[in-house]
Every structure is written in structure tokens, then in C-alpha cells.
Structure 1
Amino acid sequence: MLDLIILASEAGEHADPSIGGVHLLNATFFVSAAMLILIGIILYKKVPATIGASLDRKIASIKAELDEAQALRADAEKLRAEYEAKLAAATQEAADMNARAEAEAEAIRAKARTDAENLIVRRQKMATDKIAAAERAAIAEIRNKVATAAAGAAATLIAENHNADADKSLVDSTVAQLGMRLN
């Protein structure tokens, strides 16, 4: 490498645009100069501050959206808890209503059984009373018929066996018995 440097220095004495051995007219120099100028313009126009402010606004916007999302989530959690409580209350109320309905149905069934038993007892009593009344009516009718038949038979026998003299003694004895009873 040292040989190359020596050869380059011996090559000729023409005007070399370099400062302290650094060539000024090459691509690296121009790119470096352009970058320095660009960085200078960017700093002069306060682009980093503008970018920082823009990023800060974006951060604030995102933070506000996150806060809003957290608030919405909290509201959603609250609504969820509220509706779960309402659902539990409605489920309990439905179970209570079902229990009351079953109890009422059992009470109605028990009352219907009792009413049916009472109705059967009343109907049996009515039937027994009707049978007893029919028996009494039949007995009374039979007694009336027997009494009528006996009276008719007695009248026939009396008419056949008694005459006016026999009737007179019978009437006299009956009147005498009545007289004793009245006194």
C-alpha cells in the first residue's frame, strides 16, 4: 500500500483539488455536503420540533382514544353486571312464580278433592234420604191401603153380622166409654 501512495505522488505535478490529501470533487464529498446542507435546513425550519409536536398530538389523540375505550369498557362492564343482576332477579322471580303456581295448583287440586268428596257425601245422603222417604211413602201407602181394606172388610163384616139391635148395644157401649174418657 505504501507503494501506491508513492506512485501516486510521483505521477505528476498537476493541480489536484484536495485539501490535506482529501479529494474534494468526488461523490462522497458531494453526498456528505448535501446531507449537511439538508440537515442544516431541517434544523433551521425546526422540522424535528414540528415532527415532535405532531407525534405528541398523535400520542395525545391515541391516549384520549384509549381513555375513551377504557371508559366504554367500564360502562360495558357495568351494563353487563347490571343485566346479569336483572337476569338473576328475573330467573329467581320466575322460579318463585313457578313455585307459587305449583302451590296454588296443589291447593286447587286439594280443594277439588275435598269438594268432590263432600259432594259425594251430600249426594249419598240425598239418595239415602230419598230412599228413606220413598220407603216411608210406600209404607204409608201400604198402611193406607191396608187400613182402607181393613175398614172395608170390617164394614162388610159389620154389615153382614150386625143388625139394628146389635148396633144399638155397640153404640151404647161406645158412648159409655167416651163418657168415661171425657170425665
Structure 2
Amino acid sequence: MLHEAETWVAVAFVLMVALFIYFGAHRMIGEALDRRSARIRKELDDARQLKEEAQKLVAEYRSRRESAEREAQEIVAAAQADAERIAQEAKAKMEDFVARRTKAAESKIAQAETQAVADVRAAAAEAAAAAAANVLSQTVKGSIADNLIEKSIRELGGKLN
């Protein structure tokens, strides 16, 4: 049995374990494992905390985005309302302008008609006076004719004015 390799491997193993125990290797290994366990636990806690902070940030940014979207929709709605109001005001102003221009044109037409009628009457009166003067001058002679012509011209001038 002392000549077999397995025996010596077993003896060496037992001696090595005894030396480890004597020098406190099991305590050092335990402490190293405890330190590593604590470090891993701390890293997990830090990761959990970072995850919670990230979730809070995500929720905050979602809230901000939704708020910004609502605000943008409100701005668009207000702009559309303003555009409609401005369009209605412009339409009303245009209709008012057209109505005023139409009224002014009708007034000018009425004035032109009145002036044309007055011009025609004046021309007719002048033509009648000239014709009467011509007829009277050919039929009536002398001072009677002159008196009649002057009287007719004065009366005609008074009627025209």
C-alpha cells in the first residue's frame, strides 16, 4: 500500500488540507467570498437604485412629452381659430368695402344721370329759345320783337336756375 501512487496522493492531499487549516486559509477564503458577496450585493443594490432612477426619469420625460404634445395641440387649435377669425374679419371687411364701393358707384351714376338730365334740359331750353328767337325775329319786327325776345330770355333764364 505504501508503494501505490494513490496512497501518496491521498497523504499529500490530507497534509495540504491540514496546512491550509493551520494557516487559516479557510478563513481567508471565507473572508474573500464574503467580500465578494458584499461587493456583488452592493452592485445589485446600486443597479436596482439606478433602475428606479431611470424609471423615474422615463416617467418624467413621458409626462413632459405628453405635456408638450398637449401644448402643441392647443397652439395649433388656437392658430386655427385665429386663422378662421382673421378670415371672417377679412371677408366682412371685403363685403363692407364692396358695399361701400357699390354705393359710391350708384351715387356717382345717380349724379351723372341728374347732370345729364340737367344738361339735356339746358340744351333743349337753349334750342327752344334759339328757335323761338329765330321764329319771332322772322315774324315780329321792330321794338315789339326786341321786347318779347328779351322778356322770354329773362324768363327762360329764371326757370333754368
Report the TM-score when normalising by structure 1.
Answer: 0.71
Report the TM-score when normalising by structure 2.
Answer: 0.80
Residue aligning to 1:80? 58
Work out the CA distance in 1 between the residues paired with 2:146 and 2:120.
Answer: 33
Residue aligning to 1:90? 68
Which sits farther off after the overlay, 92-101 or 124-133? 124-133
Residue aligning to 2:85? 107
Residue aligning to 2:116? 138
Work out the CA distance in 1 between the residues paired with 2:16 and 2:37.
Answer: 27
Work out the CA distance in 2 between the residues paired with 1:115 and 1:169.
Answer: 64
Residue aligning to 1:44? 22
Residue aligning to 2:97? 119
Higher relative helix content: 2
Compare relative contact order (CA 8 Å, sep 6+) and give the higher one, 1 or 2: 2
Contact residue 20 and residue 26 of structure 2 kept, 8 A: yes
Tell me the CA shift for residue 120 of structure 1: 2.2
Work out the CA distance in 2 between the residues paired with 1:117 and 1:31.
Answer: 114
Tell me the CA shift for residue 91 of structure 1: 0.8
Residue aligning to 2:155? none
Closer, same or farther: CA 168–102 of 1 in aligned 2, 3 Å: closer
- Amino acid in the other structure paired with 2:97: L
Residue aligning to 2:158? none
Residue aligning to 2:12? 34
- 1:163 corresponds, among 138, 141, 153, to 141
Question: How many pairs were matched up?
Answer: 150
What stretches of structure 2 of length at least 5 have no aligned partner? Answer: 153-161
Larger Rg: 1
Cα-Cα RMSD: 2.5
- Amino acid in the other structure paired with 2:72: A
1:67 aligns with 2:83: no
What stretches of structure 1 of length at least 5 have no aligned partner? Answer: 1-22, 175-183
% identical equivalent positions: 35
Work out the CA distance in 2 between the residues paired with 1:32 and 1:167.
Answer: 176
Work out the CA distance in 2 between the residues paired with 1:79 and 1:40.
Answer: 56
Work out the CA distance in 2 between the residues paired with 1:75 and 1:130.
Answer: 80
Work out the CA distance in 1 between the residues paired with 2:43 and 2:28.
Answer: 22
Tell me the CA shift for residue 97 of structure 1: 1.0
